[in-house]
Amino acid sequence: MAGRRILLVSARPDARGDLVAALRSNSFRVDIEAPSAQLADEDVYDRDPPPDLVLLDTTGVPGDVAWSLAAVLSSGRLIVLVDGAGHVRRAFEAGAEDCVNAGAHPDEVGARIEAVLRRTDRVPAAEPDAGVYVDRRLWVNFESRQVWVRGEPAQLTPREFRLLEFFIAHGSGPLSHDEILAGVWGRAPEKHRPTEVLKQYIWRLRQKIEADPEKPEIVLTVPGAGYRFAAAT
């Protein structure tokens, strides 16, 4: 786990000194940020370099802010520090991989982080057969991560690109929500996992690559199954 990057989001970073020290002593790289509207409006997992996991401390954060932020941060690996057992269910409903009492010993928090990282480490997706994919609508360079749609450049975020790459790599067969979450987000399949994050990213990708996002022709919904990539003939 050495060198893995952890983003600690806390309204009281001074109170987390022991935790930060413990994580850094175990060779984690730790960044600290305060919860903010700006943080809620961005995808922190698209940063360069991205955090491997976010640790959200809900102590001292208004409930509506804390859970809205948790829902956004659950697009990647998220552990929530909760103030009392009453918030455990809320943390999991927001999409957290795990939650820990805010008063837990720093070594327990570190052990939970290591367990989540081991459980959710990404299984490499099948690589495209060539370095470039081309059809009459798309030109995708997998090495440079450039995408052109109908002759115009498309500005995809890193995760949007990985989502498109995953679809192309797996051909035209249907992909379930769990398969996509495992391949693109590195999340192990689990029952009753919320799919709102995936749906939001599918919507964002369609806005950038479809001629009419309301009538998609590239990333298609397969009712009851998931999604599939439709190559142009």
Give the pLDDT confidence score for residue 38 in this predicted structure.
Answer: 75
Cα dist from 183 to 43, 69, 111, 117, whole Å:
18, 24, 24, 15
What are residue 157's phi and psi, to 5 degrees?
-70, 165
Which CATH code of 1.10.150.120, 3.40.30.10, 3.40.50.2300, 3.40.50.970 fits the domain covering 5-120? 3.40.50.2300
pLDDT digits (tens, 9 = 90+) for 69-105: 888 888 788 999 998 777 888 888 777 888 999 888 9
Read off the DSSP letter of residue 47: S
Q: Which residues of the chain have pLDDT under 50?
A: 123-128, 192
The C-alpha atoms of residue 38 and residue 99 are separated, in whole angstroms, by 24
Give the pLDDT confidence score for residue 56 in this predicted structure.
Answer: 93
3-state secondary structure of 117: helix
Give the pLDDT confidence score for residue 92 in this predicted structure.
Answer: 81
Q: What are the start and end residues of each CATH 1.10.10.10 domain in the chain?
A: 132-229
Give the pLDDT confidence score for residue 126 in this predicted structure.
Answer: 44
Beta strands in 13-166 (DSSP E): 29-33, 53-57, 78-82, 98-101, 132-134, 138-141, 146-149, 152-154
Half-sphere exposure at residue 205, Cβ-oriented, CA atoms within 13 angstroms:
24
Which CATH code of 2.60.120.680, 2.30.30.280, 1.20.5.510, 1.10.10.10 fits the domain covering 132-229? 1.10.10.10
The amino acid at 25: S
Contact 164, 216 (CB under 8 A): no
pLDDT digits (tens, 9 = 90+) for 103-129: 889 999 999 999 888 877 654 444 445
Give the pLDDT confidence score for residue 125 in this predicted structure.
Answer: 44
Q: What are the start and end residues of each CATH 3.40.50.2300 domain in the chain?
A: 5-120
The C-alpha atoms of residue 216 and residue 228 are separated, in whole angstroms, by 11
b/e 17-55 (16+ beta carbons within 10 angstroms → b): eebbebbeebebebeeeebeeebeeebbbbeeeebbbbb
Contact 195, 188 (CB under 8 A): no
Parallel, antiparallel, or unpaired for β 53-57 and 78-82? parallel
